[in-house]
Structure 1
């Protein structure tokens, strides 16, 4: 009888293995599939791995142009060439301000035509919107932008793929000044000057209550450690990868 009990236990164990092992393989296969999907997922550029001290200061222009002169004056004082991401209808409303930015030697990027949500558009609609924005900017500067920043930073793989296929990299940010709404001046300075590594991309906005006011202090703090660069002069155009955090890494 003891022999029969042991044999029964082995039979139960064998049956359990027969049931559970296929499930384990299915789960492992699914896990590998998800992992591989994450590895190949296209993401925008949030920052850049650099061996120098370059960082990029960027401005999104979507509201008004009341502080453009003050911002440009401060950028000139600190020898900071910035990148301005321009909404197309802003370019049409304020062509003289856009021309001032361009003539001062700053880089111009595209920020959609009217700040629509790019995550809700299919590829064809994205291309149409980007081209309309490009045309509005080029009508003033004579040049089409080489970079794209999605409105409100909203992106998905379709947005990134369309940007790649158009050879206009999708640019996010790694340091956010959060300088709009009811932001207090000291908070803006603290956040915007918090770049902790070379290759950071800093997000600011024009047309806000305090950005132009606090910009001198932000640049003063950053200039002690970092070299200012446009986004295009900082990112790599070939032989690179972008990791899951959005860091662009040279090969």
Structure 2
């Protein structure tokens, strides 16, 4: 500080130059920090997964969690083919091991392969090492089976904390939740699933819809859901096509917004 004061007293030109340099550095630091903040999942002190996407396109994504059962999987794939829809399937390690042919079939039909953890545990209760293991074990199984390097991760039960979101991104995955829950897992019947999805308050551009390939009435409801969404003008796309993959930030509701 004494050196600066001496310069300020001696030469007004030097004073101007010094102040100018300080101003440039300050502006640069401000924008650098801003860039870091707006390309992360951080909102305040919380790390958020992607619940939905801010987009002007009339698009929604349909996703299926695969953690139990495979009886209806081929029929679900056939219905999706009929309506030329690509979806995202989040699979556990146990499901991948039990039904490797179905994993290959999902990939062969052009759908997203997503990671749903190895053992379907409550991952917010795990250490970083165990979180990483839960993610990467499934990753390697699917890669070995299909050659696909998965990049989408959905935590079991939708349960997460700051640590899990950070771990997910460290593993080069996008953490994915949902904004429209079909409630198919409650087994209320096909008509209930259809009404829940098509009349959901969060059904809008960029919504991510949750279903389960192993739920009792999902297959029976799926065709009506697809028709209803398309009649409302929505294009149904896989999550990998819906989300923003480069610079983005999150709002407090978990909506992904491009920078």
TM-score tier by shorter-chain length is 0.7 to 0.9
What corresponds to 1:233 in structure 2?
A: 241
CA RMSD of aligned residues (A): 1.3
**In 2, Cα distance between equivalents of 1:232 and 1:238:** 12
> Is 1:216 aligned with 2:223?
yes
**In 2, Cα distance between equivalents of 1:192 and 1:59:** 14
Do the aligned partners of 1:192 and 1:203 also contact (CA within 8 Å) in 2? no
What corresponds to 1:8 in structure 2?
A: none
Paired residues in the alignment total: 215
In the TM superposition, 1:47-62 aligns within 5 A as 47-62=52-67
2:141 to 99, 122, 136: 136
What corresponds to 2:29 in structure 1?
A: none
Equivalent position SS for 1:238: coil
1:8-52 Cα distance to aligned partner (Å, 9 max, x none) = xxxxxxxxxxxxxxxxxxxxxxxxxxxxx9624210000000011
Question: How far off its partner does 1:122 sit?
Answer: 1.2
**In 2, Cα distance between equivalents of 1:39 and 1:183:** 38
2:71 to 48, 61, 66: 66
Equivalent position SS for 1:128: helix
Question: How far off its partner does 1:232 sit?
Answer: 1.1
What corresponds to 1:202 in structure 2?
A: 209
Question: How far off its partner does 1:151 sit?
Answer: 0.5
Q: If the length of structure 1 is used for normalisation, what is the TM-score?
A: 0.83
What corresponds to 1:24 in structure 2?
A: none
Question: How far off its partner does 1:171 sit?
Answer: 0.1
Do the aligned partners of 1:83 and 1:230 also contact (CA within 8 Å) in 2? yes
In the TM superposition, 1:103-118 aligns within 5 A as 103-118=108-123
Question: How far off its partner does 1:90 sit?
Answer: 0.4
Do the aligned partners of 2:187 and 2:215 also contact (CA within 8 Å) in 1? no
> Is 1:161 aligned with 2:166?
yes
Q: If the length of structure 2 is used for normalisation, what is the TM-score?
A: 0.80
Question: How far off its partner does 1:181 sit?
Answer: 3.5
Unaligned runs of 5+ in 1: 1-36
Larger Rg: 1
> Is 1:177 aligned with 2:182?
yes
**In 1, Cα distance between equivalents of 2:43 and 2:154:** 22
**In 2, Cα distance between equivalents of 1:110 and 1:217:** 27
Q: List, as ranges, runs of 4+ consecutive aligned residues in structure 1 with deviation greater than 6 Å.
A: none
Do the aligned partners of 1:112 and 1:151 also contact (CA within 8 Å) in 2? yes
**In 1, Cα distance between equivalents of 2:46 and 2:60:** 26
**In 2, Cα distance between equivalents of 1:128 and 1:185:** 37
Do the aligned partners of 1:91 and 1:140 also contact (CA within 8 Å) in 2? no
